[in-house]
Amino acid sequence: MAPSKIVAEYAKSNRSMCKTCSEAIQSKTLRLGLVSRDMRRNMDITKWHHFTCFPLPSSNSSPNTITGFSSLKSGDQEALTKLFAGKDKSEEAGEATEDIQNEKQDTEESGSKKRKLSTSEVNITFSVSDVKSTYKDATLLPKWKAFQTVIFLEGDDGLQDSSKIAAFDFDGCLAKTAVNITGPNAWSLMYPLIPDKLQTLYNDGYKLVIFTNESNIDRWKNQRQKAVDSKIGRLNQFIEKVKVPIQVFIACGTGGKSGKAGTKEADPFRKPKPGMWHLMEKHFNSGITIDMDQSFYVGDAAGREKDHSDADIKFAEANGLKFYLPEEYFDA
């Protein structure tokens, strides 16, 4: 029963198991299948694998021969092209896939609760003495600081605290990025109207805040500085591009995991957990009470069929914020 073809697609559910590591393949993440013909039973058998677990082909096959290749996102097509060119699977692609899996797990756990979280339920003890100019072994760029598992840009030039908060996700909302490509220059504006929209909000007295997950910073122990410089570099360039002051919070922790040693709690700052909002509201808004009727959050992870998770809409719900999709907010 020899393999006859390779198929690539996004998992339709959480039920398929990777034949290499025996772990579940999370819904909506990329999976690769080896299809073999069982001559005795006269049927095709597909053995699914995570992208990072997929056995390298014995020959340099063309990725264009993979069934479903043309339907994949451009970033995943690039990752497969590198794989079939005989190159090692990049750490960036593998870690980004794991990041999506962790985020999916986070949101599934959050969605299983029958009541919404509120910031009053978040118990975070903040002290200025705990604020650092480094994140673990990585040096932060000027104006950036770290508190526990959060890296933040507290006071961009011209930033004014306000009762009105316009909050945004970054990747896939404000900036177009690829999961397997790193570097401070590897981004572009998601929508042409973003600078004008943000400028209008700023002129109307809103404080602009970005809340973004980036667990690669925590996981890439051997390349943490690269991950930090890539993320912060993109954010700095974005702020310079739109020419408005923005407060930024980056959640660097990972999602909760279950294993033989027990269950690891999800990082309290990682969306959809409300920790980043709580940190901003309680400690980085000059004590100003936030007007929840006028404040809102915009993000792309809304649990739709093609979304990698529902972390953004759950984050908005957890904090009692009105929620908008980026295409309806910026492309209207």
Where do the CATH 3.40.50.1000 domains begin and end in the chain? 100-330
Mean pLDDT value across residues 7-16: 81
Contact of 313 with 301, CB cutoff 8 Å: yes
pLDDT in tens, 250-279: 999 987 654 444 445 778 999 999 999 999
Start-to-end Cα distance in the chain = 54
Q: Give me the numbers of helices (H) and strands (E) for the chain, helices first please.
A: 8, 16
Banded pLDDT at 298 (limits 50, 70, 90): very high
Q: Would you tell me the crossing angle of helices 311-319 and 91-111 to the nearest 10 degrees?
A: 40
Instruction: Note the pTM of the prediction, 2 decimals.
Output: 0.66
Residues of the chain with CATH 3.30.1740.10: 3-89
- Residue 195 to residues 171, 175, 240, Cα–Cα distance (Å): 16, 12, 10
Separation CA 236–CA 175 (nearest Å): 12
φ, ψ for residue 197, nearest 5 deg: -65, -45
The CATH number of domain 3-89 is 3.30.1740.10: yes
**CATH no. for 100-330:** 3.40.50.1000
Question: Which of 23-27, 40-44, 68-72, 190-194 shows the lowest mean pLDDT across its residues?
Answer: 40-44
Given this model, what pLDDT does residue 119 score? 39
Note if the bond before 3 is cis, omega within 30 degrees: no
Strand partners, 263: 258
Residue pair 209/168 in contact by the 8 Å Cβ criterion: yes
pLDDT at 306: 84
Q: Evaluate whether 208 touches 202 at the Cβ level (below 8 Å).
A: yes
More confident residue, 75 or 84: 75
